[in-house]
Amino acid sequence: MPKINESIVLVGGGGGVYRVAKFLKHIRPNITTVQTVFDHGGHSGELRDERGVLPPGDIRQAIVALSDDNAEPALRRLMGYRFGEIGNSSLDRATVGNILLTALAEIEGSLPLAINALCRLCGVRGKVLPVSLDDAELCAELSDGTIVKGEGNIDTRSIDDERSIARVFLDRTAHIFVGAYDALVGADKIVFCPGDIYTSLIPNLLVNGFVDAVKLSSAKLIYCVNIMTKKAETHGFTVTDFSRVVCEHLDGRKPDFTVFNIDPIDHKVAEVYAKEKSEPVILDYPDGACEFAHKYISEHLVDCNRDFIRHHPRIASVIADL
């Protein structure tokens, strides 16, 4: 039986880690999130350019996810508040949580200290850590050899762009933050959360020292596969394709468990996603052993809300029980 106080490290970007952490914290108190800091899109990118602070967006979402639901609900809503766009305003598209983290980084003198301070204010249970403190840019090589620089540029390519991503890389060496390294090595479970695989998950694995920590750790390695594909990154991907990309970056280690959805997608919702050339991720390999995972776990994981597909809160129980 899994231990109630087992140490679980969640790895990924903003939305995927947020969804898992939000529900897992109620059944497992010892959670640490490790997240990418290479976002160069939206207001996070502007803060990076103007203030020299590493992009705080994904970290802010993790803090909100792990914050106390009852202690400061107003503060939690404030953290996620995004200003509307009125034109030529410095607050256009700005998120309050990002501004708070930027201010605290200048006050406290470093991003880790700023995160700790904001975690205390929000009553966070667990730890929120950046994967690195080094400033690097995510780049992608497309199938025709073109290099696209910047997470935002990679992520927002047109759905009419038929080129696929051949590989992603960092434009300079980024070293793992020591706190993240220690958390991975000492974990009971390491969870690769759902989300944009090339712009949210894999950038963590590109950080020097990250894969070494995973290989050194005795943790069970769990990969939660996306429910839907995304045209700019994973068009036509199956469960095996997602697993293959992860394994290609793990230098010989593969997930102990790969969790994927078997719920059918509502026809009307599927039509909405189809307009963006997004399709359900299907299993194309028999349940059992594979070179990209020790075991596949099929679960009913779809949570549909107003035409948006997300992982059902059940994903937290699946992770806890494995």
* Domain shared by 32 and 71, yes or no: no
Give the residue from 109, 130, 151 where a domain finishes: 130
Exposed e or buried b per residue across 221-240, where buried means at least 16 C-beta atoms within 10 angstroms of its C-beta: bbbbbbbbbbbbbbbebbbb
Give the residue from 100, 130, 160 where a domain finishes: 130
* Domain shared by 168 and 225, yes or no: yes
Quick one: pLDDT at residue 288? 47
Domains identified in the chain, total number? 2
* Domain shared by 249 and 309, yes or no: yes
* Domain shared by 73 and 11, yes or no: no
**Residues in the chain where the model's pLDDT stays below 50:** 288-289
* Domain shared by 223 and 252, yes or no: yes
* Domain shared by 23 and 70, yes or no: no
- DSSP-derived letter for residue 272 is H
* Domain shared by 231 and 142, yes or no: yes
* Domain shared by 68 and 183, yes or no: no
Which range of residues forms the domain containing residue 26? 1-36+131-322
Which residues are CB-neighbours of 126 under 8 A, at least 6 positions away?
21, 25, 29, 30, 31, 32, 33, 66
* Domain shared by 209 and 184, yes or no: yes
Question: What is the pTM for the complete model shown?
Answer: 0.92
- The terminus-to-terminus CA distance of the chain in angstroms comes to 9
CATH of the domain at 205: 3.40.50.10680
Give the residue from 130, 153, 174 where a domain finishes: 130
| Distance of alpha carbon 137 from alpha carbon 174, whole angstroms | 10
Q: Where are the beta strands (DSSP E) in the chain?
A: 8-12, 31-35, 127-130, 138-142, 147-149, 165-170, 189-192, 220-224, 257-261, 296-299, 302-305, 308-311
With 0-12 / 13-18 / 19 or more C-beta atoms within 10 angstroms meaning exposed / middle / buried, residue 291 is exposed
Quick one: pLDDT at residue 43? 57
* Domain shared by 169 and 228, yes or no: yes
* Domain shared by 57 and 150, yes or no: no
Please check whether residue 43 is in contact with residue 52, taking contact to mean a CB–CB distance below 8 angstroms: no
* Domain shared by 75 and 217, yes or no: no
φ/ψ of residue 101, rounded to 5: -65, -40
